[in-house]
Amino acid sequence: MADVLALVRRRARRWALNGAATVALAYILLPLIFVVWLAFFRQEIPSFPPEGYSLRWFAAILDQRKFVNGFSISFQVAALAMTVGLLFGVPAALCLARYNFKLRGPLANLLLMPIIVPGVVLGTAMYVFHVEVENGLDMDVIGTFYALVAGHVVIVIPWVVRLVTASLSGVDRATEEAAQNLGANPWVTFWRITLPAIRPGIVAGALFGFVTSFGNLEMSLFLVGPGRTTLPIVILQYLEWKIDPTIAAVSVVQILLIGIAMLITDHYVKLARVV
Amino acid sequence: MADVALTHGPVADKRRGEGLTAATLITPATLFVAFCLLAPLVVLFRYSLNEFIPAKKMMVEAVTVANYIRFFTDPYYTSILATTVRVAVMVTAICLVLGFPLAYVVARTQSRFKHLLIISIILPLFVGNAVRAAGWMTIFGSKGAVNATLMGLGLIDKPLEIMFTEKAVIIGIIAVNLPFMVLTLQSVIEGIDRAVEEAAFSLGAPPGTMFRRVLWPLALPGILAGTILTFILAMNAYATPFLLGGPLFKMMAPLVYNQFTQQANWPFGGAIAFILMTVTLLLTVAANLIFQRRAAR
């Protein structure tokens, strides 16, 4: 009898734990679920219950050039910022994980700092800096594409450094030393031993960097020039006026693309292991 | 004595070579971040010490702390800071309570679908705050899901006003920050050997005691990291208070943006930016100290 009671109690606890976890997961997903739902409404006003369902809002996206342009700008900026961020971040991560030197701590903090500085502060600081540089050097900086990309590289670097450093700590240094003892030069060692071992970290860093850049809102608000608005800013400005199924349809497209990118990445690197 | 040998000859050369390699690897990234992040922050700080002439909407070079004094002496601005801290503390506390069970289940599950579970936690992070705010707008609006349901059930006569309140903002920011908390906790709980939990159980500890005496202390570094991350993100929130809080609800980040773009008051905007960062940092350090003292006891 006592055994049965204990079993029931254990079951109940298990249910309570799973229930609490489900509530939290539902909370996280709830806003996304409603955005997706709204995208299929027939009427334009987001009132419940919906009067019917329609797919016409997805066609309406293409009529609005600002969404298409915003998507294209965001994609270009994110792709470029990710590439440059990897070129800067992977070597830096190698250095931080492999060498011990006096400035190691401060430098690591500097490279991770962009995650901690508020987006609005990043944006304002970069904006006033661009003003100073533009006045000082007499060249176009404010609102240019490259100034925007440079800002995004700054926020990509910490993700690359963090995730690549983490994956490097799991690599046994003895393998590299063995390769070098067998006559491989540092380059060959890097290409044949180190790089394959840290590939998951690099893929994850690239993914997180790309998506951080693609979704960045606060910093970009200060860096975009006329006619060069990124998608998150277009969405924010639209939502300031109204919420309707069109903006929900835009969001659904974005959710789908990011979801697919994550599933593809997960196929190569288990996201569960890198985050 | 053996160490002496290490500092001479080919080994020393190798060390010098290593130092050179290390420098080559990290210098580009360091210079880039220094130029694109540190230099701008220095310029912004310098601007925050300048004077602003409202009549001409002009900045005049000066060295004064008047902007900082203005912020702390005007109740309008200090109340915005207080609101921001209050919202951030509440969000962080609720995130910890909501996030722990989910993090625990994700960390301990043996399911084949664990990666899908993780993806569904990460995905919202990547979708952008504005889109998630749009979701809450459809839920909270006067004709939104909550009000339509409650009115349909006859529980209320006229729609509840949820949009444009502090409640809406807190609910919105929790959803934004919860994934960060869950992922941080999950990675730490995964590192705790399950055998320790089972040992506590087999020694007769009820689950509550096991949690308090085993899981909590072992997970403390992760709890601290997750709490700090969530707190910083909540202090800096921009899109959620902007869209869900409406024009009258003010937090620090939208205030900085407003000073820069609407008022064109760069010195004051710069000062607010540094006040926001300093307060966040001080509160984080204080929390760290309190936590560590507790842990040491």
The CATH number of residue B248's host domain is 1.10.3720.10
Q: Report yes or no: B25 at the A interface, CB cutoff 8 Å.
A: yes
Whether B242 is covered by a domain: the verdict is yes
Q: Which residue has the higher pLDDT, A170 or B81?
A: B81
Give the residues across from B51 on adjacent strands. Answer: B60
* Structural domain of B181: 67-296
Q: Report yes or no: A61 at the B interface, CB cutoff 8 Å.
A: no
Considering the domain architecture, whether residues B31 and B156 belong to the same structural domain is answered as: no
Q: Report yes or no: A105 at the B interface, CB cutoff 8 Å.
A: no
Is there a contact between A239 and B243 if contact means CB atoms under 8 Å apart?
yes
Q: Report yes or no: A259 at the B interface, CB cutoff 8 Å.
A: yes
Answer yes or no: is pLDDT of A166 > 90: no
Most confident residue range from A73-77, A257-261, B18-22, B224-228? A73-77
Amino acid (one-letter) located at B8: H
Beta strands in chain B (DSSP E): 51-53, 58-60
A-facing residues of B in 229-268 (CB < 8 A) are 232, 235-236, 238-239, 242-243, 253-254, 256-257, 260, 266
Considering the domain architecture, whether residues B40 and B77 belong to the same structural domain is answered as: no
Whether B198 is covered by a domain: the verdict is yes
Residues of B in contact with A49 (CB under 8 A): 148
Split at pLDDT 50, 70, 90, the class of A90 is: very high
Mean pLDDT of B195-212: 84
Is there a contact between A124 and B117 if contact means CB atoms under 8 Å apart?
no
**Residue B173 phi/psi, 5° resolution?**
-70, -35
Q: Which pLDDT tens digit goes with each residue over B232-253?
A: 999 999 999 999 998 889 999 9
Question: Per 3-state DSSP, what percentage of chain B is helix, strand, and coil (rounded to 5)?
Answer: 80, 0, 20
Is there a contact between B123 and A101 if contact means CB atoms under 8 Å apart?
no
Split at pLDDT 50, 70, 90, the class of B3 is: very low
Split at pLDDT 50, 70, 90, the class of B278 is: very high
Considering the domain architecture, whether residues B119 and B41 belong to the same structural domain is answered as: no
Whether B195 is covered by a domain: the verdict is yes
Residue-wise DSSP of B230-267: HHHHHHT--HHHHHHSTTT---HHHHHHHHHHTS--HH
Q: Which residue has the higher pLDDT, B211 or A269?
A: B211
Considering the domain architecture, whether residues B88 and B224 belong to the same structural domain is answered as: yes
Q: Report yes or no: B130 at the A interface, CB cutoff 8 Å.
A: yes
The C-alpha of A38 sits at a distance from chain B's nearest C-alpha, in angstroms, of 8
Q: What pTM was computed for the model?
A: 0.86
Considering the domain architecture, whether residues B5 and B118 belong to the same structural domain is answered as: no
Q: Which pLDDT tens digit goes with each residue over B17-39?
A: 677 788 888 889 999 999 999 99
Mean pLDDT of A32-60: 84
Is there a contact between A46 and B115 if contact means CB atoms under 8 Å apart?
no
**Residue B53 phi/psi, 5° resolution?**
-105, 105
Q: Report yes or no: A243 at the B interface, CB cutoff 8 Å.
A: yes
Is there a contact between A275 and B187 if contact means CB atoms under 8 Å apart?
yes
Whether B60 is covered by a domain: the verdict is no
Considering the domain architecture, whether residues B41 and B79 belong to the same structural domain is answered as: no
Whether B59 is covered by a domain: the verdict is no
The C-alpha of A81 sits at a distance from chain B's nearest C-alpha, in angstroms, of 13
Mean pLDDT of A181-185: 84
Q: Report yes or no: A275 at the B interface, CB cutoff 8 Å.
A: yes
Whether B53 is covered by a domain: the verdict is no
The ranges assigned to domains in chain A are 1-39, 56-274
Beta strands in B138-261 (DSSP E): none
The C-alpha of B296 sits at a distance from chain A's nearest C-alpha, in angstroms, of 24
**What is the length of chain A?**
275
Q: Report yes or no: A86 at the B interface, CB cutoff 8 Å.
A: no
pLDDT at B1: 37
Answer yes or no: is pLDDT of B2 > 60: no
Which of B26, B106, B236 is the closest to A95 by Cβ? B26
Is there a contact between A31 and B124 if contact means CB atoms under 8 Å apart?
yes
Considering the domain architecture, whether residues B113 and B160 belong to the same structural domain is answered as: yes
Please tell me which residue of chain A has the smallest CA distance to B126.
A211
Mean pLDDT of A33-55: 84
In angstroms, rounded to a whole number, what is the distance separating the alpha carbons of residues A91 and B253? 34
In angstroms, rounded to a whole number, what is the distance separating the alpha carbons of residues A233 and A205? 24
The C-alpha of B55 sits at a distance from chain A's nearest C-alpha, in angstroms, of 21
Contact between A122 and A217 under an 8 Å Cβ cutoff? The reply is no
Is there a contact between A21 and B21 if contact means CB atoms under 8 Å apart?
no
Split at pLDDT 50, 70, 90, the class of A271 is: low
Q: Which pLDDT tens digit goes with each residue over B155-177?
A: 888 888 888 889 999 999 999 99
Superfamily of the domain at A56-274: MetI-like (1.10.3720.10)
Strands B58-60 and B51-53: antiparallel
Whether B86 is covered by a domain: the verdict is yes
Considering the domain architecture, whether residues B79 and B182 belong to the same structural domain is answered as: yes
B-facing residues of A in 152-171 (CB < 8 A) are 153-154, 157, 161
Q: Report yes or no: A112 at the B interface, CB cutoff 8 Å.
A: no
The C-alpha of B123 sits at a distance from chain A's nearest C-alpha, in angstroms, of 7
- What 3-state DSSP class applies to A41? strand
Mean pLDDT of chain A: 86
Cα pseudo-dihedral B226, B227, B231, B233, rounded to 10: 10
Enter the tokens of residue A132: 């100073």
Q: Report yes or no: B282 at the A interface, CB cutoff 8 Å.
A: no
Considering the domain architecture, whether residues B180 and B225 belong to the same structural domain is answered as: yes
Please tell me which residue of chain A has the smallest CA distance to B238.
A218
Considering the domain architecture, whether residues B111 and B256 belong to the same structural domain is answered as: yes
Q: Which of A165, B217, B148 is nearest to B209 (CA)?
A: B217
Residues of B in contact with A107 (CB under 8 A): 26, 30
The percentage of chain A sitting over the pLDDT mark of 90, rounded to a whole number, equals: 29
Residues of B in contact with A129 (CB under 8 A): 39-40, 43-44
Which of A29, A121, A129 is the closest to B124 by Cβ? A29
Task: Out of A208-212, B9-13, B73-77, pick the least confident.
Answer: B9-13
Q: Report yes or no: B59 at the A interface, CB cutoff 8 Å.
A: no
pLDDT at B6: 41
Considering the domain architecture, whether residues B35 and B72 belong to the same structural domain is answered as: no
Considering the domain architecture, whether residues B32 and B153 belong to the same structural domain is answered as: no
Residue-wise DSSP of B29-77: HHHHHIIIIIHHHHHHHHHHTSEEETTTTEEE-----HHHHHHHH-HHH
- The structural domain count of chain B equals 2
Q: Which pLDDT tens digit goes with each residue over A107-125?
A: 888 998 888 888 899 999 9
Task: Out of A187-201, B71-85, B96-110, pick the least confident.
Answer: A187-201
Contact between A247 and A239 under an 8 Å Cβ cutoff? The reply is yes
Residues of A in contact with B25 (CB under 8 A): 91-92, 94-95
Which of A124, A129, A161 is the closest to B39 by Cβ? A129
The C-alpha of A71 sits at a distance from chain B's nearest C-alpha, in angstroms, of 13
